[in-house]
Structure 1
């Protein structure tokens, strides 16, 4: 009988789920706060169920000699060392969709409180001041709400806001026109959203592309008197710039549930009367906490009793029997997706995946999920192979797959094609004897390139001198070339270079390469 430790507070119903599934469970909800005691006992357990209090560090994992699965009741796994768990073969699961409604409702609540100055009015009234004329609010009816991020939570906020008779506009590079129409929102660019929105609410992951998306420059572009709500991630807003905008009146008010540093203490924003602050309460409802607790208990039990893997962040959903054969193909699919995703800069309308030969005869679901994850991860960040297909569906991205018997020279290969608003880009790959993925075609141009951690992708005109100029430039930049792979469509037509390099390229270095004669595009890729 497998044994599970619950080291944070879960509901009695969740604990009973373990027992009903034949899993022995120790419910010790305060143990997670005692890292020394956790280190001492963790070796006894096959599964670990946690919330946010338990810190599953590399040291804890080193002592987890029998641990097979860690389940987080909630979406955030910052408290789990996933690379260390992966290295040791421990599945890490979360419950990515259990908090969506609760977080969306909190954003709407914050917006309403901000519009009517409720916290400050409450404090004034409790102080027996009765300052009725001081707290003049604004209606939300007929106002424009700007969504920065229109994924799962953003779409729920849009639905609730429309019920309040608000006009909803959205900025999201991966929101397709069709999905926007289904949601009943108007898709706009960021500058237009800033200029038009009366209220702005953020619903994006924190990645390089979204870090400080509201900063001094973008806040200056907002409609004067805008009100801003952030229940997504700290770091999406430059807090110093927001403070200045609130003081100047450019921003009429802000409601913040998340902060750059948490727990937030002595934050200068706390001094301002036109700021509402809550302590990261987005997921804090009875219903949400119960939902994620039940989900994580079901997921851990299913894995320990039958090998079923659900909502894993570090492994696709495949059986133990399939793993040795299918895992290299899953890796290839994710690599092809990442290749295309890193080159994609506009909204994705569709993803087509073709399996020929060997992979066509396998369970293609993990490969499909891995490919979608690879495509979306460079832009969305907070995504995994299990949640990727649902997120693609929510965003209106059409995913089509084809399987067929071997027809060409390769025993098996995968081709992935991404269709955006501007173009269609395809990339194909196969596995060689060593099981490592190789690129065999890009944009219908045949080539052969081993995938390495750092690569330079260049499209150029096929004219004499290009290879020499590129090699000389890389040498001058002190970038060592490991492999140089070339392909072209026709003599004098489009050509592609895939260069394996040692180390990474800076934006300045990439800019120098892009300025070379004949170069149409230069991108740094990491795998």
Structure 2
């Protein structure tokens, strides 16, 4: 009989489900790391919330552990790479608190519009300052959604019920899905310039960090009101403070902060600023939902091998996994490359296989492509939930098998369509089963996709390689691999090189300043 430890306070329904499914369960909460290490070795499953930190030390002691289930979304308290190396599956419940979080965003929007916290404090202090608290109506106002996934779509539905006009920015939102949601799809600058209220519903990634930066906040109309119940770091808190002090921003409400718990902040005490202590998921219903879901998911895995919402494991049978593993690694890298390089709003993706890859189960390959592609825009994406996220955003996904024999024994090609046009990338497996890029945007070139890479598009002119090499030397950037390709002599050329270490914006700006450079980007694999 499998045995599960619930180490954080959780709704009793979780333990009830484990026992009903024939799984032994212990509810032991509040243990120190050393106390947890002493007992974790006897358990097959560990059900947690945010309090338990599943570190390398804990995992080293968890000699029988097979699965970790997080009742909630965030898994920053779990060392996922090390759990993977130990063969431990990590699951979460990403959709159990969607309605609760959406409702909290709507509640904060009302609170901002009518200055409810200030009016409450004033009235309870014995004042009657009716004329001081002149609010605004939500009806006929324009709500700008940054992120139109599961939670964003619920907010849109609620806002439309309030007779608000809803516009949305999301790279994965298609025109068809936007029509279905009853929102207008716009680019970010348009949203910033038109919205009366902005609410954020996107994960924190390199692409979304400080998406409401000082520069972008300056693009908003005077009197904007901003709500963030998603992730700390999406809004530049210092710039938000400046905007509130200047009066350009009429109000802001944050449920999340860059540093949590946020026991002090320059924003605290600022007029027209509302804060709550990360309450997005804090309702009775949400806590019950995530407890039920994590117990059911873990039970399915321990009893039958079923995998749902895993962050580090695809839905594969034991027989398929060894053969598919290198193909999925290739697919994920190719998807990641095109995701990092494709500009504009995505509307469709085609995954083509030929040769040996065409003879395999296509779903894991497609899942790996989508995980790589969408991982450029979102966190907690894997081969299990990536197809769902793509469908949720209305992304048209096509799988195409080719019986033809090409130049390579196996080939995976990924073509994405955006409002800027099509982009296509192809890769293969060499004899060592290592992924290798063989075609990039119609240009033939071979490259390993590893670590930190510099991508440059330039005019094919004599002396460019020397100038770039000199610049890299001056900046102390060491080159690992160097790959070139071009459409024709004197035309457009592409350079991909791996470097030892990350590249900051200042360095990339110096590369872009070189004569002949059209584009320069840092890529991560």
Map 1:59-70 onto structure 2 (within 5 A): 59-70=57-68
Structure 1 stretch displaced more, 180-189 or 290-299: 180-189
Partner of 1:434: 432
| Structure 1 residues 386 and 247: CA distance shift in structure 2, 3 A | same
In structure 1, distance between residues paired with 2:495 and 2:218:
41
Please give the alpha-carbon distance, in whole angstroms, between the structure 2 residues aligned to 1:318 and 1:226.
Answer: 48
Give SS of 1:378's match: coil
Structure-2 separation of matches of 1:243 and 1:501: 38
Partner Cα distance (1:360, 1:336) in 2: 16
- 1:448 matches 2:446: yes
Distance 1:386 1:157 in 2: 25
Cα-to-partner distance string for 1:439-474 (whole Å, 9 max, x where unaligned): 122223333223322333333444555545544544
The one-character-per-residue Cα deviations of 1:158-212 (angstroms, maximum 9, x if unpaired) are 1110110001122334433333333222233333333322212111222233333
Q: Which residue of structure 1 lines up, in the alignment, with residue 13 of structure 2?
A: 13
**1:113-135, Cα deviation, whole Å (9 max, x unpaired):** 22122233333444444443333
1:476 to 1:394, Cα distance in 2 relative to 1, 3 A? same
- Select 2:45's aligned residue among 44, 47, 56: 47
Compare 360-369 and 119-128 and name the one that shifted more.
119-128
Q: Distance in 2 between matches of 1:477 and 1:116?
A: 53
Tell me, what secondary structure is at the counterpart of 1:252?
Answer: strand
Pairwise CA RMSD of aligned residues?
2.3
SS at the partner of 1:270?
A: coil
Deviation track 1:264-313 (CA, whole Å, cap 9, x = no partner) reads 21334332342222211101112211111111111111111122221111
- Structure 2 gap segments, 5+ residues each: none
Counterpart for residue 289 of structure 1: 287
Q: TM-score, normalised by structure 2?
A: 0.93
Instruction: Give the Cα separation in 2 of the matches to 1:510 and 1:522.
Output: 6
Partner Cα separation in structure 2 for residue 302 and residue 172 of structure 1:
34
Task: Check conservation: 1:307, 1:320, Cα contact below 8 A.
Answer: no
Question: In structure 2, what is the equivalent of residue 458 of structure 1?
Answer: 456
**Residues 241 and 444 of structure 1: is their aligned pair in 2 closer, same or farther, counting only changes over 3 Å?**
closer
Q: State the match for 2:22 in structure 1.
A: 22
Distance 1:336 1:450 in 2: 11
Question: SS of the residue aligned with 2:57?
Answer: helix
Cα pair distance change 1:129/1:79, threshold 3 Å: same
Q: What SS does structure 2 have at the residue aligned with 1:153?
A: helix
C-alpha distance in 2 between matches for 1:374 and 1:389: 11
Contact 1:257 1:279 in 2 (8 A): yes
Shift of 1:65: 0.9
More off after superposition, 121-130 vs 57-66: 121-130
User: Quick one: distance in 1 between partners of 2:239 and 2:473?
Assistant: 41
Q: Contact (CA 8 Å) 2:145, 2:201: kept in 1 or not?
A: yes
SS at match of 1:380: coil
1:480-513 Cα offsets, whole Å, 9 max, x none, are 4333333344455444333333334443443444
Is 2:249 the counterpart of 1:251?
A: yes
Residues 96, 387 of structure 1: 8 Å contact kept: no
Partner of 2:270: 272
Counterpart of 2:376 in 1: which secondary structure? helix
What is the CA–CA distance in structure 1 between the aligned matches of 2:262 and 2:467, rounded to whole Å?
52
How many Å separate the matches in 2 of 1:224 and 1:432?
57
Q: How far is 1:339 from its partner? A: 0.9
Counterpart of 1:377? 375
Worse overlay, 468-477 or 222-231: 468-477
Contact 1:209 1:379 in 2 (8 A): yes
Q: How does 1:391-406 map to 2 (within 5 A)?
A: 391-406=389-404
Moved more, 172-181 or 33-42: 172-181
The counterpart of 1:195, out of the listed 193, 196, 209, is 193
Change beyond 3 A, Cα 1:520–1:125: closer
Give the conservation status (yes or no) of the 8 Å contact 1:258–1:279. Answer: yes
Residues in 2 aligned to 1:26 and 1:232: alpha-carbon distance in whole angstroms: 32
Query: Counterparts of 1:467 and 1:127 in 2: how far apart (Å)?
Result: 71
Query: Which deviates more from structure 2 when the two are superposed, residues 421-430 or residues 179-188?
Result: 179-188
* DSSP-derived class of the 1:483 partner: strand
TM-score, normalised to structure 1's length?
0.93
Distance 2:121 2:519 in 1: 58
- Relative to structure 1, the CA distance from residue 274 to residue 423 in structure 2 (aligned partners, 3 Å threshold; closer, same or farther) is same
Q: 1:441 to 1:194 in 2, by over 3 A?
A: closer
Aligned pair in 2 of structure 1 residues 441, 241: CA closer, same or farther (>3 Å)?
A: closer
Match of 1:91 in 2: 89
CA gap of 1:248–1:477, structure 2 versus 1, over 3 A, is closer
